[in-house]
Amino acid sequence: MRSVEVVIRLAGADDRSAVEDALLWACNWSTERQPLDRATALIRPEIAHYVTGWPAAGDLGVVADIDGPVGAAWLRYLPTDDPGYGFVAMNIPELSTASIPGIEAEGSGANCCALCRPPRRSAGSSESA
C-alpha cells in the first residue's frame, strides 16, 4: 500500500463542489448501472436534497484532501416531507460519505465519518442543544 497523507478538514461554503463530487461517487458506486452525471443528479429531488443550498443551517461536513478533495462525509437534517434514503427522524441527521474511486482503502472515508459528529439535539427540535 502506498503511503499518502490524507488531510481531513471541515467543509465550508467553498466546498460545495467537493460535496457534490462525493455525492456523485456515492450515486455511481455500482458498475452495473448507468452512471449519473452531475446535471442529472442535481435535478433529481431524491438525490439533490443532500447538497442543495450547501451548507444549509445545521449541515456539518468534512473533506478529505490528498492534493485536492478525494472524499467527504456530511450530515444533513432532512424534514419528514422530504426524507432521504436513510431517514429515521427529523432530529436525526443523515450521514452521506464517499471517496473517489480507487482510493477506498486509504482510510479517508473512515476518517471522515469518525470526524463528522453532529451536535446533540433534543427530540423534535431544529436547534442545537
Q: pLDDT of 28-47, one tens digit each?
A: 988 899 999 999 999 999 99
| Placement of cell 467553498 in the chain | 14
pTM for this entry: 0.79
Cα within 13 Å of Cα(4), Cβ side: 17
Please determine, for residue 72, whether its predicted confidence score (pLDDT) is greater than 80. Answer: yes
Task: Find all residues with CB under 8 Å of 115, minimum gap 6, and list them.
Answer: 8, 62, 73
Lookup: cell for 47: 438525490
At position 58, the amino acid (one-letter code) is: G
Does 83 sit behind a cis peptide bond, omega within 30 degrees of 0 on the bond before it? no
Nearest alpha-carbon partner for 103 in 64, 46, 57: 64
CATH of 7-115, one of 3.40.50.1220, 3.40.630.30, 3.20.10.10, 3.40.50.410: 3.40.630.30
Q: What is the pLDDT of residues 79-111, one digit of tens each?
A: 999 999 889 999 989 989 888 887 655 555 555
More confident: 46 or 120? 46
pLDDT at 8: 86
Q: Cβ distance 81 to 24 under 8 Å?
A: no
